[in-house]
Structure 1
């Protein structure tokens, strides 16, 4: 798989990604998309989410700071996205930590057409039935048989499922890819996973919308982000400087960097 071509496509097309994300990382996620070459909009008002989706090329939903107003915003926006054929990426932040979060994630998956589900391995384990432990919004443990459970869930639901961790797993229900790029400091800063979800939105926005295209776009997005993290860590002295350098690396990374450094294994 040639991943660099996806980065080139994002920069050429500069897709508008509509984000309904959490209050902690709104600025971080927006800056991540700008650094990479995409265009962000952060809108959650009930009165405009359907109109915003109409002009966007992807919708990224993040359950990080959940309340009833935001749940309704996501419901309205995803309904409009489904009507217009706009791909939807769902990040079920904290699923498994409280029943409220788990129910909110499952309701979206059951009532809306979600193209990509991306969470940490604990969250994805809870949702797919493999089991998992989540403390707050962080994964503590993933259940055994996670890859098999992800494959079943993806196949039954007709979507792509990605579980990120020390090694990332991505599947469309037919094949599983293991992605080995990344750096431990990604887990030491706020918003790395949430920003990654926004990046996946940018990549799926320039896909052809087929399941194979969505799978490759998701693999490419995660690989690009994690290669940039590796590049950022090379000159950083700790999580603080790493966070700043990550934006610089996302801006500077080239398709050649992605292809040269990608470590992708077909499971």
Structure 2
């Protein structure tokens, strides 16, 4: 099904369950573009309209609801981020590289994908860029595990402007920044997490900007919601002066609260 037809057929879902941000980074010449798509869990009946036949066969093999949900969230958000108005969603093939990273078949565009609970997000970006995204629920049950992979130096960062966000949210923010950085390198957490240690966090009006000890060439941009934290990592040199604040504002104003229970026609 074409992108434009999908938006019309599932108009209610599109209006309440899909959020798009297109942005131009002016720090490079010519400017580098990306599109961020965040999608809530789609109706299961819609899967045949955007999955290819091989993807439908793969999806049918999954037995557990959690895996079925994550598959649909990842595929749909990636295809929506990549597609133009006239593109057939089922013809966009998202394959996997040697490190299980998403690869767009037959395209120079790149993609990075994340999902949690009932939200998926994908960033489609110019091949000149490097980028990673992550979204994580703020869970008190995960706090002890997150603290174990947080360095003493990182713990000290919580005493700055971040002290009002709460300990669990702070630890989750660090995790999302690190995971997004690991996706930039295409390694994921197959390497020591200490490699991704966060050096500084700076609270801005609409989010938090971070820098890394071992990767000073990159910035992390994080936006907080009551239930989750979203982070993306991009090259610092891609930003024109003040551009990270404009991007944080766009993301802050676009990201939804977690749509728990909102899409009863989705998977259970």
TM-score in terms of structure 2 length: 0.32
Give the strand-richer structure, 1 or 2: 2
Whose helix proportion is higher, 1 or 2?
A: 1
TM-score (norm 1): 0.33
